[in-house]
Structure 1
Amino acid sequence: MSLEDKIKATAKNIEGKVQEAVGEITGDPEQKMEGKRKQAEAEIQHGIENLKDKAKKLID
């Protein structure tokens, strides 16, 4: 996993957690769901990058 992609995915995950918490505090379900969506996207990004790493190791 490239360091830059890993940092981006981690930042998106943190952003999602903050947004979810803000939605919880303010009682805004849309904000909360948007935060959860960002966290799910970050998980997918991590998974894709992990697969790329495994493929690269097989090729090398």
Structure 2
Amino acid sequence: MGVQDKFENKAEELKGRAKETAGAALGDDDLKNEGKADQASSAIHKGVEKVKDKANEIAEKLVGDDNK
């Protein structure tokens, strides 16, 4: 996962937490749910990036093994 991707995911997660907290404090269920959705989206992006990283790692090992 690139540094930019990590930064964007963390920013989305923090934005979601802020929205959820503000929604809870204000009694605004829509804002609260929007915050939860932002956090879920961030988690999905993190998961996708981890899968990509693992796939690249495996591909590098396979290519490396063929060259020996």
Instruction: Flag whether TM exceeds 0.5 (same fold).
Output: yes
Aligned identity (percent) is 37
**Which segments of 5 or more consecutive residues in structure 1 lack a partner in the other structure?**
none
Higher relative contact order (CA 8 A, sep 6+): 1
User: What's the offset of the Cα at 1:43?
Assistant: 0.1
- Give the TM-score normalised by the residue count of structure 1: 0.97
**Greater C-alpha radius of gyration:** 2
How many corresponding residue pairs?
A: 60
Misfit runs of 4+, over 4 Å: none
Q: CA RMSD in A?
A: 0.5
**Which segments of 5 or more consecutive residues in structure 2 lack a partner in the other structure?**
61-68
